[in-house]
Every structure is written in C-alpha cells, then in structure tokens.
Amino acid sequence: MKQNNILYKRELKDFKFVDTELNKMNRYYVSNEGVELIKKLPPLDKNNLTDTDKYKIKFDSNQLNIFDVIKDNVTIEPEERETNIEAGWKCTLFNTFKEQDDYDLNYQYYIEECYKVINSLTL
C-alpha cells in the first residue's frame, strides 16, 4: 500500500463484518474460501468544496454570473473511499509460506485471467 492507503481484511464473524488492518505489504492468492481485501483511500480534496468553489474551478473564474443560481451547501467532511481488491473473489493471505496438501486455490479465477491474456494477444 502506498502513502495513506490502508489494507484491511474483511470477514464475516457472528453475522457481522469485521475489518482487520493489515501490513503495508502483503502476499495473497485467490481461493474458494477466505476473506475480502479492502483498500481504504483518503478522501479526495475536491469532495470538500462548496458548489460555488466547484463552479469557479469549472469555469476557471473568480467572478460569478448573477444569473447563475448556485445553492451553496454546508461543507461536508468527505468520507474515505473503499475499493475491493479482486472484487467478487475471496482471498487468502500468504505472507508466510506453509507447506500444505491443498491450498484451496480458485482455479476458475486463474483460468479466466489466462484467457484475458490470451485474448489480448490474439486481437
């Protein structure tokens, strides 16, 4: 994770989603059972602007037209942004190698990824 980004693992425990913060660097693979990996990013500064400020930026002007009606909202503190890493798939953290008979790999995911590469080469 870069700079202010934070990685969490999200899992269902006792019918509640529980987020646990992870290290900045992690290794994982897509598996049949596992957790969701969520990257939380800081809010964008532009989401913290009033409508008037956005208008000034859009039209590159510090002067408002008296015929434009702008309803200024109270500045609201923007929320953190979330993105799901490998959205739609479960992941297993693999920061420490463990010898196992079955790693519970999701072969369908990897087959689809291979087809994406093959298809990009044939076009």
Report domain extents, the chain: 6-122
Strand residue runs (E) in the chain: 6-13, 16-21, 28-31, 36-41, 81-85, 90-93
Overall pTM surpassing 0.85 (yes/no): no
Asked if residue 79 has pLDDT above 60, the reply is yes
Q: Token pair for residue 1?
A: 């994770």
**Nearest C-alpha neighbor of 49 from the set 35, 65, 70:** 70
Taking only the tens place, the pLDDT of each residue in 101-123 is 999 999 999 999 999 999 999 76
Q: Which two tokens stand for residue 72?
A: 């200024």
pLDDT band at 52 (very low <50, low <70, confident <90, very high): low
Residue 92: which of 27, 44, 47, 38 has the closest Cα? 27
pLDDT value for 32? 96
Write down the residue that tokens 């408002």 correspond to. 64
Sheet holding 16-21, edge to edge: 16-21, 6-13, 36-41, 81-85
Q: Which of 37, 47, 51, 35 lies closest to 80 in space, CA to CA?
A: 47
